[in-house]
Amino acid sequence: MEWTDILRFFRGPFFSISLIIFVGGMAYRLFRIVLLGWPRDRVESRGSKAVGVLRTYLKGLVFFPFIPWVRRTFARNSLTYIAGGLFHLSLFLVIFFATPHVLVWKSLLGFGWPTLPSPVVDGLSTIGIISLLLLLVNRLTHPVLKLITRSPVWLNWTLVFLPFVTGYAMTHRLLFRYEALFSLHMITVDILLIWIPLGRIPHFLFYFFSRTIHGAQAGKRAVTP
C-alpha cells in the first residue's frame, strides 16, 4: 500500500465519515445539554439582559485577554492563563486563516475568505505547539492537577497535539515524505473530528451558551458579570 492510497482514503471516505460523526455527535450533545433545563428565574428584572451579554463578551474576549493581570486567576496561575490563551488564539487563527485550511472551508461551504501569510501561520503554530507542551509539563508536575487528571484529559491533549505537530511537520517537510506527513495529518485530524463530540472539546460551542446565559442573568440583576 502506497502513502498516496492512504492519503486518498483519509482525505476522502474516512474524512466524510468523520465529518458525519462530528456533526451528528455535536447536534446530539448540544440538544442533550440545552434541554437539561434550568430553574425558572423569578427575580424581578433590574437591568437589561442584552447589556449583560454584551458586557460579558467584551470583557471575556476583548478586554481581559490584553490586561490579564487585573484578574486573580492570572496572578495565581499565570502559566495556564498565558499558555492556554495563546494556544486557543493560535488554534483559532490556524484553523480559520491558514491558506490550506481556507481551501478546505471553501470546498465544504462553497466560499472562502482572505488568508494569513504563511510565515505568520507558521509562527502561530509554533506558539500553539510550545503552549501545548508547557501546559503538558505543568499538568505533569503540578501536584493538584496531577491528582485530578484522568485518562480522557491525556487523550484530549494528545488528539489536539498530534494534528498540530503533523501539520507543522508537513509544512516544513520534516523527516518523512510529504504524502506520508499529509496522510498522518489527515489521520490525526479525522480521529480528532470523531473524538470531539465524545470529549470535552465541545466547549468551543458550549462556551457561547454559558457566557450568554450568565451574562443575561447578571444583566437582569444589574450586577457586573
Partner 1 sequence: MGEKTIYQQLKEEGFSRRDFMKFCGLLSGMMGLEFVVPAQALGALAGPDPSLLVAEALKSKPRLPLIWLELQDCAGCTEAISRSQSPSLVNLVLDKISVDYQETLMAAAGFQAEQARLDTMKKYHGQYVLVVEGSPSTGENGVFCTIGGRSNLDLLREAAEGAAAIIATGNCAAFGGIPKAKPNPTGARGVSEIITGKPIVNIPGCPAIPEVTTGTIAHFLVMGELPKTDSLRRPLTFYGHTIHDHCLRRPFYDAGKFAGGFDDDGARAGYCLYKLGCKGPTTYNACASLKWEQGLSYPVQSGHPCLGCSEPDFWDGGGFYQGQSAPLDRPTSAVIGTVAGVGTALGIAMAGANHLKKRNAGKRTTPSGKGSPE
Residues that bind partner 1 (CB under 8 A): 2, 4-5, 7-8, 11-13, 15-16, 19-20, 23-32, 35-37, 39, 99-101, 103-104, 106-108, 115-121, 178-179, 182
Nearest distance from residue 94's CB to partner 1, in Å? 13
CA torsion 210-216-221-225 (nearest 10°) is 60
Choose between 9 and 57: whose C-beta lies nearer to partner 1. 9
Choose between 24 and 47: whose C-beta lies nearer to partner 1. 24
Choose between 2 and 44: whose C-beta lies nearer to partner 1. 2
Q: Is 66 exposed, middle or buried (0-12, 13-18, 19+ CB in 10 A)?
A: exposed
Helix extents (H) in the chain: 3-11, 13-34, 49-57, 72-76, 78-97, 99-109, 118-141, 143-148, 151-172, 178-195, 203-221
Is the dihedral angle over the CA atoms 94, 95, 99, 101 positive or is it negative?
positive
Nearest distance from residue 194's CB to partner 1, in Å? 13
Nearest distance from residue 107's CB to partner 1, in Å? 4
Choose between 53 and 116: whose C-beta lies nearer to partner 1. 116
Nearest distance from residue 4's CB to partner 1, in Å? 6
